[in-house]
Structure 1
Amino acid sequence: MKQIENILVNMFHKKPAFLYTIPGFHRNFQSVYKLGRQQILVKEYNSKKDLKREVFFYEMFGKNKLIITPLFYGHEKNVGCFEFIESDSKGDLFVGIEDWARVHSCFLKSNELNNPIMANHKSKNLPEYVLNHEKEFPKISKQIAEVLQSESYQNFKTLIHGDLEKRNILIKNNKNCYIDFEFTGRGHPLRDLSLLLLNHPQDKEKIISMYRKKISFDYENIEKDTKKELFIKAVQLIAEMKNINLPSKRKKNIHTRFLKVMDSYL
C-alpha cells in the first residue's frame, strides 16, 4: 500500500486516502483511493503486457472518441490509475451493442490490427478439448465438437473488446462507458456478441437483430457464425474456470448455465 501511495503522490502531488479494495475475481488487483473530491481506481497489474495494452486502448479511445471510457490519469511501474465509476451504474446493454458494432465496423480489416499490442483471439484445439473432456459436456460433447469444427461463413477480423459483459459497461454522464481492455485486440466480431448471448440468452433475437442493423458491413448468415462463436467462447470459459479463483458452487452454476445455452442452439 505504501508503494501505491507514493505513486499517487508522484502523480497528483497530494497524499491519497485509501477507501477499499474491490471484491470479487479480477485479473489484476484493484482498489479505490480518494483524493479531494476525486475517487481513483488503482490497478496493480500482474503482467506488464496487460498494463501496456490497457494504457494503449484508453489513450486510443480517448483520441478517436469511438466509445466513452473513464479518464486515464497515468501509470508508473506496474500500477495504472483511472477515474473511478461506481460499478452499480450499469450501462445499457443494447446501446453497448450499437457502440461496439460501430467499433467493429471502423476497424474491419484495418492495418492497425497488426499492432503487436493487440490481444490475438484465436481458438485452437477446442474440438479436441471437448472430446477429451466429455464429462464436462455430458450428452452433447460430440455435437459441440462438430459445431467447433465447422467452417465459419465469414472469417472477419476486427478490433474486439474481448470481455464485453455487463460488468464492463458502466454509466458516465448518462452515457455508456467501457472499462477493462486487458483482452482487447483482433478477433472475430461475433466473439464480443457471444459473451453477451451467453449471459443474456433470453435476448438472443434482439441482440442479433440490433447488431445486424448497426454494423456497416454486409453479414449474411450471421446466425450460423453466431452459434459457432458462442460455442468457442463457452468452451474456452469452461476450460479456463479450472484456474480461476472462484467458489466451486459459483463455478458449477456458470458451467451449468453455459451448457444449457449451448444445448438450446443444438
Structure 2
Amino acid sequence: MEIVKLVAEIKSKISKFKSEGKTIGFVPTMGALHQGHLSLADASVKNNDITVVSIFVNPTQFNNPEDLSSYPRTIENDLEKLSVYKPDLIFIPDVSEIYPEQDTRIFEFGLLDKVMEGKNRPGHFNGVAQVVSKLFDIVSPNNAYFGQKDFQQIAVIKQMTKDLKLSVNIVSCPIIREKDGLAMSSRNVLLTEEQRKNACKISETLFKARNLAPELSVSQLKEWVVDEINKNIYLSVEYFEIVNDTTLEVIKDWNESNNKIGCITVQVGKTRLIDNVTFKY
C-alpha cells in the first residue's frame, strides 16, 4: 500500500501498470472512512489487478462553507482501516494538485441534478462532476466503485461518463448499514449520542414504508413517511421523494414505473443524513 500525493507521480505509476496489461479499479472517497467505503475497496481489490483509493475532500461540491469546514478528516485512521484490504495505491492530493487553476466547467444533466439533492444543494453535483472527471483523467480506471447510498450521485456520474465518452465502468455497490439499520456515513460521527440513538428511525421508517406500499397511494405513503420521522424531536425531513430509478422523475402512481426508489434527506441537528430504499411494488 503506497501513498502518492502528486498527480504526475500517480499517472506515471498507472501508465506502467496499464502497459503491463493490468486492470485498474478506483474508489474515490473524501476520507472519514467507514465500512461502506471499505466494502468498495474490498470489491475493487477482488475484481481488479490494481486498486487505487483516493482521499480528497473536494471543495467545489460544498455549497455551505460550514459543511466543508466541519467535514471529518481522519487520514491516519483511514490508512489504518485500508491496510486490512491492501489496495495498491492511496492517492492523497492537495487541493492545488487537483485544481491548479479554477475549474469553470458547467455540466448539463437535465433533470438528474435538478431534483432532491440537486434542488436542495445548488451546484453540488456540478462540483461532483468536476472532481470525478478530473480523478478519472488522472487514474484512468477500468472500473470505479460507488456506494448506493449516494444514489443520485451515481446517476449523475453515469451520465457524466456517458457525456464525456469515458471508458469507465461505474460499479454501484449496496448500502452498508449499522446493526440498528442506519446507513453508514462519514457524517454519522458528527451526531451527538442522543441524535445517533434516534437516527435509526430514518431507515426503520423506510423499511416500514416498503411494506405499506400496497396499502397506500404514493402521495399517502410520502405523507406517512414524513409525518412518522418528524414525530421524533431529533429529526426533521428535508425531502422524501419516490422516483424512477433511472430518470429520477417523481412517481405519482405506483403503476408509472417498475423501477422505483424512495430517497430521503433528514436533518439531524446540524447534520444532513441521506438514505434510500427500493420499492418492488
Does the TM-score normalized on the shorter chain lie above 0.5?
Answer: no
